[in-house]
Amino acid sequence: MRIAIAGSDGRMGRMLIEAVINSPDLTLTVALDRTGSACIGQDAGGFLGHTTGVHITDDLDALSHADCLIDFTRPEGTLTHLEACVKHKVKCVIGTTGFDIAGKQAIQAASQKTAIVFAPNMSVGVNATLKLLDMAARLLNSGYDVEVFEAHHRNKVDAPSGTALAMGETVARAWGEKLDDIADWARHGHTGAREDGRIGFSVMRGGDIVGDHTVFFCGAGERIEISHRSSSRTTYAQGSLRAARYLARKEFGLFDMQDVLSS
């Protein structure tokens, strides 16, 4: 399978290039980054001291040499790349977070023309955690205050993380609610007492934290905490490759990591 990587000089882009190079069933054929980036023209494996012969480019028509693009960039970049994927009939694994409603609708529309896996977290552990949360939310559906906490590195630009949002959505869905209707995104000043049935969010940014998430179910006399902590980005890269292999069998459609992991 011929793989293209977007955001080749980014934290995830580099992890993905290394993972593809080390996967015998996958071939790196395209490495993208944005116009003006200092990495354009460099060998995609240069940061590893490795010569791949694939030079990082901003030419999206290079996607004609790929079967699947793996994209961890920014929403505006991903949506531009997705148009090129549709044009060149290339499948797409999207790990980027922070899309607005219009962005999510554009992904949905593109999935009628190509096959897409879109997930805010590609790690097997996080996706198992989402299953545990669904079970906990169904059992603890009254008398428990739910709070979602996430911590990430100082360079993360969106908040709450896509994973924290997915965790909140999982609890809200289990309660028959929409997250937007019951979320408290932040608290400051004289907030008054906490209301029942809300989901609170809190966010920490600092240093090189890869990604920590905890959902608290706080009751009277007890507290349940369901936590996931990432210590390496490898899990995101390996999950993305699994998603790309899954798409080899699909023509079009929108899938998530639960689809990938249950196949």
Ligand X SMILES: O=C(O)C1=N[C@H](C(=O)O)C[C@H](O)C1
Ligand Y SMILES: NC(=O)C1=CN([C@@H]2O[C@H](COP(=O)(O)OP(=O)(O)OC[C@H]3O[C@@H](n4cnc5c(N)ncnc54)[C@H](OP(=O)(O)O)[C@@H]3O)[C@@H](O)[C@H]2O)C=CC1
Cis peptide before 120 (omega within 30 of 0): no
Residue 102 labeled ligand binder: no
- DSSP label of 195: P
Residue 163 labeled ligand binder: yes
Residues catalogued as catalytic: 152, 156
Does the protein bind ligand X through residue 235 (CB under 6 A)?
A: no
Rounded-to-integer distance, Cα 211 and Cα 126, Å: 10
Residue 199-238 contact track with ligand Y, rule CB under 6 A, x = bound: -------------------------------------x--
Does the protein bind ligand Y through residue 160 (CB under 6 A)?
A: no
Residue 155-184 contact track with ligand X, rule CB under 6 A, x = bound: -x----xxx---------------------
Q: Residue-wise over 157-187: b if at least 16 C-beta within 10 A, else e?
A: ebbbbbbbbbbbbbbbebbebebeebbeeee
Does the protein bind ligand X through residue 121 (CB under 6 A)?
A: yes
Which H or E element spans position 204? strand 199-205
Does the protein bind ligand Y through residue 37 (CB under 6 A)?
A: yes
**What minimum distance in Å lies between the beta carbon of 241 and ligand X?**
16
The residue with its CB nearest to ligand Y is: 10
CA dihedral (260, 241, 72, 61) positive or negative: negative
Rounded-to-integer distance, Cα 22 and Cα 2, Å: 14
Rounded-to-integer distance, Cα 93 and Cα 72, Å: 9
Does the protein bind ligand X through residue 239 (CB under 6 A)?
A: no
Among 8, 29, 73, 97, the residue binding ligand X under the rule CB under 6 A is 97
Residue 233 labeled ligand binder: no
Q: Which residues pair with 213 in a beta bridge?
A: 150, 228
Closest CA to 213 of 159, 151, 128, 146: 151
Annotated binding site: 7-12, 33-34, 95-97, 119-122, 153, 162-163
Query: Which residues make up the interface to ligand X (CB under 6 A)?
Result: 97, 120-121, 152, 156, 161-163, 211
Query: Which residues make up the interface to ligand Y (CB under 6 A)?
Result: 7, 9-13, 33-34, 37, 72-74, 76-77, 95-98, 119-122, 162, 236
